[in-house]
Structure 1
Amino acid sequence: MKLAKPLLYRDGIWAFLMLLPNLLGFLMFVLLPVVATFVISFASWDLTSNFKFVGVDNYTHLLADETFHQVLWNTIYFTAVSVPIGIVISLFLANVLNQKLRFIRFYRAAFFIPVISSMVAVAVIWQWIYNPQYGLLNYALSWLGITGPTWLTSTKWAMIGIMITAIWKSLGFNMLIFLAGLQGISESYYEAAEIDGAKWYSKFWNITVPLLSPTTFFVTVMAIINSFQVFDTVYLMTQGGPARTTSVLVYYIYQNAFQYFQMGYASAIAYVLFFIVLMITLLQFWRQNRSNVY
């Protein structure tokens, strides 16, 4: 017993030293910026002039800011459309790639490549695909007798183009998570269903979907959080245009902070975004827990 305390004390010191770099990184690059942003959201500051507290003026200004209303709606629209479509396609691909196919590892790797690809390279490729004159997409549509739109310069189609790119970029990650969930389901359930004469759609709806619900919940939460934080796709492909039809909350934060130098207002928008994402995430957890109860 006398040796136990020194050993625990020594182990505790070593554990603390091992955790210290990560702890310092968290304090410097996460906690401190979060606290600083909260303080700045109640101030007027352009990075050069004197720091001046203005109370809740930045937040009240949001209520009358029509541009903020527009980018908030754009973000909600982007999330409401891209997230369900991306999840459905990812689940479908995961089911296909869960089969015993030849070269299955190659197919899985091929679908995951966009996830690890540079967003700059992805944006360049998709800008070429969307090009109205010599782009691959409009060329394919012309074979069907359809005149393709001017994708990224059209107020009607630009956001759809951004959604397609974002879905394609994240497809492999969601597919991989679903694939892991599918491989965790015992084959005995499907064998029993086959004995009872169940069709493939019955097995999918009554076995796969319920047993995959924790995985679906995780994918949905992560997809919604990521969609509300979309920035690089918009910045690289449209820069919020045309006529702000593709401008989203994070891009508007970037503009106010580093183009208009309104750091206080940008910080207020950032905290509104944080509150929206927090409320949606808590709602999802509440619904998940409620469904588990019943």
Structure 2
Amino acid sequence: MNNAQTARAAGTERTAKIPSSIWKWLAGAGIAAPAVSIVGIFFVYPFIQSLTESFRTEDGAYTLANYGKAFRLYAGDMWFTLWVSGLSLGLLLLLSVLLGGLLRLKTASFVEFLFKIPLFVPFVVVGHAMRVFLAPHGTLNSALMPLGLYDPDQVPSIAFSTAGLVLALVWKNIGFALLLVLGAFRGVDNSYLEAARNQGAGSFRLIKDILLPMGKGSIGVVAVLTFSSMMGSFSIPAMMGSADGRQMLMVDLYYQIVYQQDYGVANALGVISYLVSMGAAIYYMKKVAKA
């Protein structure tokens, strides 16, 4: 056997000694590397930068002053953001479960299509459209005026109120929520539904006792993703505004960057939003890992 053949035989022997589990681990790491890199570059690194800058003052010192100022100025807006996001999420889940259940039990392709339209509408367009639709002399009031439901001299408006903001957020997210919930409900075997029907269960009982428990994993994922999206929403709150002066946190963050140029407080607000959403993100990751 010459030297070349000896070297190839030795290389083959070393390769054969590498456990298959290591090869599998290397293959898995190679597949996951692009996704992990994107998360690291576009999420982890900016978060670390924001976290670091949130403690830095204008003179370069590291203190909690930015957080103190953020809570002093925007504590009310923090609670308002949580309230709006929580209320919107509750209404969204209720609507998506009821609609998803009805569409699972009785196919209505056109209705399903209508509720998926918000998926393709940009946030800015939703904010502007809702502002026009809900304005004092907007589309909704113009349609209701002939019914004599209110005094034309005192036209009600929910365009710049908490109710208007909640309606806009729910409408924008209903398509995404319904898509996931309906997918989970359609994964439930018909035999369960037929067995319940044979026992006299109606549509509401089928949704409450069969579809909802069996689709709770997907509903939890919907809750996590939509809550995080609502917490970080900027375009709709900026377009809808608030008549009583309260704002969502992302609007406050924009104000600090553009008008006050106080990047320390802006980063502090961003970190606070991250921390509020972190529990939801951890829950989501656990669900993905179990799937």
TM-score higher than 0.5 here? Answer: yes
Aligned length: 270
Alignment CA distance shift 1:136-1:35 (3 Å): same
Q: Check whether the contact 1:256–1:263 (CA below 8 A) recurs between aligned residues.
A: yes
Aligned equivalents of 2:166, 2:53: Cα separation in 1:
32
Structure-2 residue corresponding to 1:161: 164
Matched AA of 1:152: A
The CA deviation at 1:37 is 0.6
The CA deviation at 1:24 is 4.7
Q: Aligned runs of 1:19-98 on 2, under 5 Å?
A: 22-45=35-58, 52-63=60-71, 65=72, 67-98=73-104
Match of 1:110 among 83, 99, 114: 114
Aligned equivalents of 2:16, 2:114: Cα separation in 1:
53
Aligned equivalents of 1:107, 1:126: Cα separation in 2:
21
Q: Deviations over 1:13-34 (max 9, x none)?
A: 9987776665554343222211
Q: Deviations over 1:97-127 (max 9, x none)?
A: 22454xx444323211111212222223222
Match of 1:200 among 200, 203, 212: 203
Q: Aligned runs of 1:149-228 on 2, under 5 Å?
A: 149-153=156-160, 158-228=161-231
Asked which structure has the greater CA Rg, the reply is 2
Aligned equivalents of 1:272, 1:40: Cα separation in 2:
13
The CA deviation at 1:160 is 0.9
Match of 1:119 among 115, 119, 123: 123
The CA deviation at 1:93 is 1.6
Structure-2 residue corresponding to 1:242: 243
Flag structure 1 segments of 5+ consecutive residues without an equivalent: 46-50, 289-294
The CA deviation at 1:188 is 0.8
Q: Check whether the contact 2:134–2:159 (CA below 8 A) recurs between aligned residues.
A: yes
Alignment CA distance shift 1:243-1:185 (3 Å): same
Structure-2 residue corresponding to 1:292: none
**Percent identity of paired positions between Structure 1 and Structure 2:** 21
The CA deviation at 1:89 is 0.9
Alignment CA distance shift 1:24-1:220 (3 Å): closer
Alignment CA distance shift 1:11-1:73 (3 Å): closer
The CA deviation at 1:267 is 1.1
Q: TM-score, normalised by structure 1?
A: 0.79
Aligned equivalents of 2:197, 2:27: Cα separation in 1:
55
Alignment CA distance shift 1:180-1:146 (3 Å): same
Q: Check whether the contact 1:44–1:265 (CA below 8 A) recurs between aligned residues.
A: no
Alignment CA distance shift 1:198-1:106 (3 Å): closer
Give me the CA root mean square deviation.
Answer: 3.2
Matched AA of 1:273: S
Alignment CA distance shift 1:204-1:100 (3 Å): closer
Q: TM-score, normalised by structure 2?
A: 0.79
